[in-house]
Structure 1
Amino acid sequence: MSNALIENKLALLPNSPGCYLHKNQQGTIIYVGKAKNLRNRVRSYFRGSHDTKTEALISEIADFEFIVTESNIEALLLEINLIKENKPKYNIMLKDDKSYPFIKITNDYYPRLITTRQVKKDGALYFGPYPDVGAANEIKKLLDRIFPFKKCSNPANKVCFYYHLHQCDAHTVTGYDHQHFMDMAEEVSNFLKGQDDKILDELKVKMETAAQGLEFERAAEYRDLLQAIATLRTKQRVMAKDLQNRDVFGYAVHQGWMCVQVFFVRQGKLIERDVSLFPYYNDAEDDFLTYLGQFYQEANHLVPNEILLPPDVDLESAQALVATKIRQPQRGEKKQLVNLANKNAQVSLQQKFDLLEKNFEKTQGAVENLGTVLGIPTPYRIEAFDNSNIMGTSPVSAMVVFVNGVASKKEYRKYKIKTVVGPDDYASMREVLRRRYSRVIRENLPKPDLIIMDGGQGQVSVAKEVVHGELGLSIPIAGLKKNDRHQTQELLFGDPLEVVELGRQSQEFFLLHRIQDEVHRFAISFHRQVRSKNSFSSKLDGIEGLGPKRKQALLKQFKSIPKIQAASLAELQALGIPQAVAQRVKDKLLEQDEGQEETSKKPSNKQKE
């Protein structure tokens, strides 16, 4: 993906919680992250400075996707599932272990609350997994402040520091029996499942009692606990309690296009999604049903235990298409999953049209603005020219074509200069323009709406002499001048030529900059190619029996003169070159090499003096 397209996608990110997936050039997911605000978080990767490990990640990002969620914790759990399913390179590198942490209530007489990465069949209670040890520890700290489990290794008759903080029921000292701790374990279980109303009520009573007793610090502690609990109260829609495999469909339509999002829920966890964008031509509901049937019949997707669909889809038709349980939930967790799929479909579809609008501004919109600025009809077809040579050697010229602001590479043309001797840029351009537009007239080819010359007044004047004067074509001609750093500086146009004022941040200026860079690149590439072939051929010229085809075979196989010189006769003969011709090639290159050595041994003019 180009940097420009990434910039466009960054501008369209929503201010919603969710997960983002960074991809490399091959489309492989290399990092999965979560964000409270997708727009701010993803943009931060491409703004400002970063540490070494983040720079390494950013250097590989070629594209990104995102999934919108309803809450931050939902994004947290979705991140876990996506990391487990895709095993992204940088998530694995940045983890402090290969497994995910759990919160555990041990199966001891006086149970303890700990974090662990190993789940065993030891009768203990396990809660999780959590995306990293930091998240697990934050939740454990909250639980430690609410539930006074044992936190030390002291004997049962000795209290610890946490006892004095009212965060440890110190066994025999407090007189609590084993059932007391089992009841607390059940409360923790209920709390982590979202059944926390009882605990909240108790904390509110304690906060009010402490405040009435003028224990403001204690009251503030209970207030902080209530706020911390509030961050965990959101019900999780990305993890279903029944652990079933199901596909959740949502779709959105806009301006003749449909986006279908499919969430794949496996073992109760949302692990992946499929996004399809396509034009639809019938009723939206009918075309969605067509897509649904093709999804399982032609794409060979696994049919799950259950499929969830939006309420506006005809259920009877859907049941005829797929042989599994199909539901249209009206409330609860499953309804929220369908809503989430619909929301993501709407976001993806809007992003498509926003990107199209931005692309229009950069291409056809820029072309229309350029025509307005120059006072000419919209230049839908632009042809640009540039010359390339080194001290007059291997002179070439090149033409590039832009249609509606987009490069039309199949229409590019290369020209070897045939009639000009020495470094004469103006004469070379006369020859090329004469050849190009004589052919346009002769073969009735499409005429450009604007000709752009890479250069200033001299190049534009030459172009006008040939195109307007000799050939009688009334095509507008402009020139692009560069500054000392070889960057597009100004546009010349009119009669007499004048500098046309263009905003440096305008799309029309960026379009001209792209055109000038492209024609220069194309001309330089062609010149290097010709110069390389000329240099190669000159050293093999005049060898009896070595024609163009055999020269080409040598060039293709050995790439350079030194490698041909180092090759054995047998290697040369393997290319179909007779032994006598191969020997002449070796002798000729040896003579040239010895001649260069003799030349290098001669004293310089300065030494002669």
Structure 2
Amino acid sequence: MKQSPANIAQRLPNKPGVYQFLNHEKEVIYVGKAKDLKKRVSSYFSKNKYESAKLRVLVSKVVDIKHIIVDTESDALLLENNLIKKIKPKYNVLLKDDKTYPWICIKNEPFPRVYSTRRVVHDGSRYFGPYTSGVLLKTILDLIKSIYPLRTCNLALTQQNIKSGKFKPCLEYQIGNCLAPCIGNQTEEDYNESITLIVDILNGNIQTVKRIIVERMHYYAKDYQFEQAHKYKEKLAALERFQAKSTIVNPRLTDLDVFSIVEDSKVTCVNFIKVVQGSVIQSHNLELKKGLDETTSDLLAIAITELRQRVNSRAKELIVPIIPEYVLDGCKYTVPTRGDKLKLLQLSQRNAKAYVVEKSMMLEKRDGESRTMRILKSLQKDFKTVALPHHIECFDNSNLQGTNPVSACVVFKDAKPAKREYRLFNIKTVVGPDDFASMAEVITRRYSRLVSDGEALPQLIVIDGGKGQLSTAYNALKSLQLHQKISIIGIAKRLEEIYFPGDPVPIYLDKNSESLKVVQYARNEAHRFSIGHHRNRRSSTATASQLTEIQGIGLKSVEQLFKEFKSITAVRKASVEELTRVVGHSKAKLIFQFYSNINLSNDEIKT
């Protein structure tokens, strides 16, 4: 008889270890660690209510439990991390980087090559990193190249191949970048001595390397081998330039791992900073996605284990914001409250926060892009456009009592206003308040111009009006032979009904429809834009008509006055001399006298 998960949990030992939950398909769906296996696993099945819906679902799917006993809590932490990476259970924390970072590889081969790579191959080669800064990686490789001439070829430099004389020195040897071990010019012992010093540099032990270089420089100088001494002097200078670019904290801080964690509603990031001999030599961000309701302490412990394994860290002291519930054996966890260690923790927190902010902005942008695509698909479906309506144009006519008719064209790109592309049209060929004729003129002018200039046409045109305005606009498009390339609709104000060309029966979209909201927004923008322009024209006309009432002052003089004085108020206040400079003495006297009489009349009225 098969036992229930609750009964299996009761038979677990009171020892540290790792447990695995299995479902009906015998798949591992969750891996966890515990200081006391029986107590921890039983807690899942003794609760009647769970705060997390995910936890309820997880427990409902468990049909079997496996466990592994270990000696210490630290072993449980390490084993859990390895099993999660291997099995990738559905309900566990997901560890992810924002990209694949490069490493520096010292290849496992005779006369090892040193190069950057994004692939970690477990073939005995040594890897250092990962490096989040490409500039730092290049700086280190340039430093190594400037100090130690290493081979870059992929020849199999076994002693047998070298002695057989099957290789010839390449250009790198000719220009001094390699000592040609391929032809026996450099011994393997001498080459490996350079590799040892390179490992010290990559581990941050720059002081050791500097001391060896200084000793050799002095040795050659005393022996009057000044050329060799100068070469070591150049190596020392390169090393010091590199060290100057590193973030110096305090030389007394020898070997530290610094961890911080920053969480928001969408992203959790743990930042890792490695400090060797007072210099920050490495920084790395690890993003975590919660599987269940893991605490900050749990997430930090998981990240510390993963990051130290990745970079093969052996630091004995860890700087952390809180002491995790699970800690690694042989490591000292410090929560600093002041001094250089606190500054390091704050530096790490700033890095983590910057990552979270950047990631959140990327997620918001991605969510916004997916929302935009949803709206465009809705517009395409509701308004029967051939292509997604990335480009929409909406027209509205405005005139008051037949004066100064204007039309506005507003442009929407990806369902949002593109205000720089808004256009205004003064109606030229229509006399009186004729909306239909005005619409035909504007549509013809707008799209004949776009076609002649070779500019992109919209996928959808929206007309502010009912059947009549829509029919007129459609016929104008038809005369331009664009009616099959551009979809066109009309929106009537009364009931927000949508009209299609040739169909007398409108459609009514739900008032919460995203398509309707976009069209309404475009219609309101066009109305606002046209009314604003219409008011400006009427104001300018009224001003101009006041000046043209003066006998002897024409429209050309009015334009010259406004170009100079900018407003009617400035014209009224101008002296005869100021007016004369613009329109001449005789016209200046006429204008000045005109406004003097108006001012005098106003004074009489006040009296």
Q: Does the TM-score normalized on the shorter chain lie above 0.5?
A: no
TM (norm. structure 1) is 0.43
Which structure would you say has the larger Rg?
Answer: 2
